[in-house]
Amino acid sequence: MRESKLKKLERMQTVLTLLKKEYPHAECALTYSTPFQLLIATILSAQCTDARVNIVTPILFSAYPDAYVMSKAKLSDIEKIIHSTGFYKAKAKNILACSKQIINHFNGELPLSIEELTTLPGVGRKTANVLLGNAFGMNVGITVDTHVTRIMNLLKFVQSKDAVKIEMSLIPLVPQDDWTVFTHVIIQHGREVCIARRPKCQNCSISKYCPSALS
């Protein structure tokens, strides 16, 4: 039986309320001191754990703390520092090009729109949403990572693996003021309870609202 839009909206509100209560201190797991550093950390987080990124970034940012200094770095030096994050050649190339573009096209200031941010090398909607939501408190979109993709499909709020399609489906269901915290609580729930391949459905506060747990 197909769930009505109203029922789906009500179920989402219940799920979000429960998760916000369960994880009141959920926040971005990446370590950073400035918006630029969050941008670079998020680029590094692609196909890599936040924990690994947080090991690498203190070394990277101690040498290259801002866009100006990073734009003057040698590509090979960036590669050496970020090697353990995977895909290091492409990431280093993007980080250097991104830093140069921030200096040359945006006068050293990070742009504050999705459209402009996604013109930067290595920056897609996910990275732009992370930056705007966490560094600037701007709820302009919903960050869709692997946890959000997996859990939203399990909860049957979406039936897609495409991040942009998932985001567009979630936007009408989640209050805009909660767009940033929504991702944080879903990610924490995915790490602690709804673990891939071994979900703890018996300990899940939202299992009664999850079609996958009930089936």
Active site residues: 126, 145
The secondary structure of 149-190 as a DSSP string is HHHHHHTTS-----HHHHHHHHTTTS-GGGHHHHHHHHHHHH
**Token digits for 135?**
């560094």
CA 73 to chain CA mean position, Å: 26
- CA 88/CA 77 separation, integer angstroms: 11
What is the Cα–Cα distance from 22 to 18, expressed in whole angstroms? Answer: 6
The candidate with the shortest Cα–Cα distance to 148, out of 112, 93, 187, is: 187
The per-type count for the chain, helices as H runs and strands as E runs, is 12, 0
